[in-house]
Amino acid sequence: MSQLGFDFNAPDFDHSGFIKRLLAEEKIRYSDVQLAKLLCNDTDDVFYLVLLLLRAEQQQHTCLDLNSLMWENPFQLSVIDESQPLSPFISREQACDKLLHHPAVGEGKPLQCFAHYLYLARLAAYEALLAQRFSALARQPMLLDEVRLSALLDSYFPATNNEIDWQKIACAIAASRRLSVITGGPGTGKTTTVTKLLAILQSLYLAAPLAIKLVAPTGKAAARLTESIKGAKVKLGLAPELAALIPEQAQTLHRLLGVIPHSNKFRHDQGNPLHLDVLIVDEASMVDLALMAKLVNALPENARLILLGDKDQLASVDTGNVLSDLCETLRLGEVPSYSEALREQLKRWCDVNLPAAKTPSPLVIGDCLAFLQKSHRFASNSGIGQLALAVNRNDLNHFDWVWQQNFADLNWYGLDQTQYQALIERAVDAYSHYLLAIQQGASAAQVHALFAHFRLLVAVREGPYGLEELNRKIELALMQRGLIRLTSHIYAGMPVMISQNDYQLKLFNGDIGILLPDEQGQLKAVFMDEGETPRSIYPARLPKYDVAYVMTIHKSQGSEFAHTAILLPPLQRAQIGINRQLLYTGITRAKQRLELVAQPEVLKLAMRKSVARSSGLALRLKV
Ligand SMILES: Nc1ncnc2c1ncn2[C@@H]1O[C@H](COP(=O)(O)OP(=O)(O)OP(=O)(O)O)[C@@H](O)[C@H]1O
**What spacing in Å lies between the alpha carbon of 248 and ligand 1's midpoint?**
16
Q: Which residues pair with 239 in a beta bridge?
A: none
**What is the DSSP secondary structure assignment for residue 507, as one 8-state letter?**
B
Q: Which of 153-162, 263-272, 338-347, 412-421 has the lowest mean pLDDT?
A: 153-162
**What spacing in Å lies between the alpha carbon of 387 and ligand 1's midpoint?**
18
**What spacing in Å lies between the alpha carbon of 456 and ligand 1's midpoint?**
25
Structure confidence at residue 5 (pLDDT): 38
Q: For residue 282, which atom of ligand 1 is closest to its CA?
A: 27
Q: What is the spatial distance between Cα 556 and Cα 510, in angstroms, rounded to a whole number?
A: 8
Q: Is the pLDDT of residue 403 over 60?
A: yes
**What spacing in Å lies between the alpha carbon of 435 and ligand 1's midpoint?**
32
Q: State pLDDT tens for residues 603-623.
A: 999 999 988 899 999 999 997
Give the residue whose CA is nearest to atom 29 of ligand 1: 377
Question: Do the annotations mark residue 188 as ligand-binding?
Answer: yes
Inter-CA distances, 345 with 161, 256, 304, 338, 545, Å: 21, 34, 19, 11, 51
Question: Do the annotations mark residue 531 as ligand-binding?
Answer: no
Average pLDDT over residues 195-221: 92
User: How deeply is 125 buried, as exposed, middle or buried, from its count of CB atoms within 10 A (0-12, 13-18, 19+)?
Assistant: middle
Give yes or no for a contact between 372 and 164, defined as CB atoms under 8 angstroms apart.
no
Average pLDDT over residues 486-505: 88
Average pLDDT over residues 565-591: 92
Give the residue whose CA is nearest to atom 13 of ligand 1: 377
Q: How many helices (H) and strands (E) does the chain have?
A: 23, 19
Question: Do the annotations mark residue 184 as ligand-binding?
Answer: yes
pLDDT level of residue 8 (50, 70, 90 thresholds): very low
* H/E stretch holding 447: helix 444-451
Question: Do the annotations mark residue 141 as ligand-binding?
Answer: no
Q: What is the spatial distance between Cα 224 and Cα 234, in angstroms, rounded to a whole number?
A: 15
SS (H, E, C) 92-110: HHHHHHHHHCCCCECCCCC
Three-class DSSP category at 113: strand
Q: Is the pLDDT of residue 377 over 80?
A: no
* H/E stretch holding 262: none
pTM value is 0.87
Region class of 385: left (phi > 0), else alpha (psi between -120 and 50), else beta:
alpha
Q: What is the spatial distance between Cα 135 and Cα 146, in angstroms, rounded to a whole number?
A: 24
**What spacing in Å lies between the alpha carbon of 165 and ligand 1's midpoint?**
13
**What is the DSSP secondary structure assignment for residue 474, as one 8-state letter?**
H
Give yes or no for a contact between 224 and 198, defined as CB atoms under 8 angstroms apart.
no
Q: What is the spatial distance between Cα 293 and Cα 133, in angstroms, rounded to a whole number?
A: 9
Kindly give the residue spans of alpha helices, DSSP state H, lying in 258-366.
289-297, 322-326, 340-350
Structure confidence at residue 10 (pLDDT): 54
Q: For residue 193, which atom of ligand 1 is closest to its CA?
A: 18
Q: Is the pLDDT of residue 2 over 60?
A: no
**What spacing in Å lies between the alpha carbon of 384 and ligand 1's midpoint?**
15
Q: What is the spatial distance between Cα 574 and Cα 295, in angstroms, rounded to a whole number?
A: 36
Q: What is the spatial distance between Cα 367 and Cα 379, in angstroms, rounded to a whole number?
A: 30
Neighbours of 209 (CB within 10 A): 15
**What spacing in Å lies between the alpha carbon of 162 and ligand 1's midpoint?**
20
Question: Do the annotations mark residue 106 as ligand-binding?
Answer: no
Average pLDDT over residues 307-322: 91
Q: State pLDDT tens for residues 15-63.
A: 888 899 999 989 999 999 999 998 887 778 899 999 999 999 999 999 9
Mean residue pLDDT of the chain comes to 91
Q: Residues lining ligand 1, judged by CB closer than 6 Å?
A: 167, 184, 186-192, 228, 232, 235, 376-377
Q: Which of 163, 169, 192, 280 is the pocket-test mutation for ligand 1 (most atoms within 8 Å of CB)?
A: 192
* H/E stretch holding 437: helix 417-439
Structure confidence at residue 6 (pLDDT): 40
Taking only Cα atoms into account, the Rg of the chain, rounded to an integer number of angstroms, comes to: 26
Q: State pLDDT tens for residues 157-167.
A: 988 777 889 99
**What is the DSSP secondary structure assignment for residue 510, as one 8-state letter?**
T
Maximum mean pLDDT: which of 61-65, 99-103, 501-505, 518-522: 61-65
Give the residue whose CA is nearest to atom 8 of ligand 1: 189
Three-class DSSP category at 181: strand
Q: How many Å separate Cα 618 from the centre of its chain?
A: 18
